[in-house]
Structure 1
């Protein structure tokens, strides 16, 4: 099996020991991604801005893998407060308008108190 690892350069990837994405057998598995702007290592306050940053980071990893947000087949949303999820719907419905992936929303505590959303996706590489 041919496996390729993709990194965003996030210090978390090195500290924890994971890849932003792993490409294997035509699939792209993107790790849970939070709303940090990894260029500046800043985390916006609003769940909407964190959601946008998260999907931007995921989108870049998918492009590097040879896929895109349009090829996502599964998405898991993890929020610290489930009541915040509807504020993200305009963003997620636009980003996934074409893919329409299977989706799950889970409420859980994240690694840092300021983190409001984490998103994990699985995508196909188009033939």
Structure 2
């Protein structure tokens, strides 16, 4: 299977030079995804709305790859403020609670001060 590059339409992808996701065989690697609504290039000021949008953006990329959130095997969360991590647990549980992928949380600055969370996932799509 040829490598497939997936774009969300975000201006960041073109400006920086990356793909929202890369499909390589059965693996889908979704780039760090923020709470931007990429169709409008807007972002909420609310942490929980950003977290929800992150997962919507990730689901869209996985869907385009012929996969779904159920195929996620690893997730990395990045927060500028580590104290925000527990606030997002209900949303994380909503999307990944039954899947229970391996996970890691980092506290680090993000590229735009409006960003309050970034999520990166790796999925494995089994042969059908």
Q: Which shifted more, 94-103 or 74-83?
A: 94-103
Equivalent in the alignment of 2:35: 35
User: In 2, distance between residues paired with 1:13 and 1:61?
Assistant: 13
Matched, 1:115 2:115: yes
Per-residue displacement from partner, 1:72-93 (whole Å, max 9, x unpaired)? Answer: 0000000000100111100001
1:105 equivalenced with 2:114 (yes/no): no
Structure 2 unaligned regions, length at least 5:
none
User: How many pairs align?
Assistant: 127
TM-score (norm 1): 0.97
Summarize deviations over 1:103-122 as a string: whole Å, max 9, x none: 00000000011111000000
1:33–1:120 contact (8 Å) kept in structure 2: yes
Normalising by structure 2, report the TM-score: 0.96
**Alignment RMSD:** 0.9
Counterparts of residues 1-127 of structure 1 (less than 5 Å): 2-127=2-127
Deviations 1:38-91 (A, max 9, x none): 111111011111100011000010011011111100000000001001111000
- After TM superposition, give the deviation of residue 126 of structure 1 in Å: 2.9
Segments ≥4 residues shifted beyond 2 Å? none
CA distance in 1, matches of 2:39, 2:2: 29
Counterpart contact for 1:67–1:126, Cα < 8 Å:
no
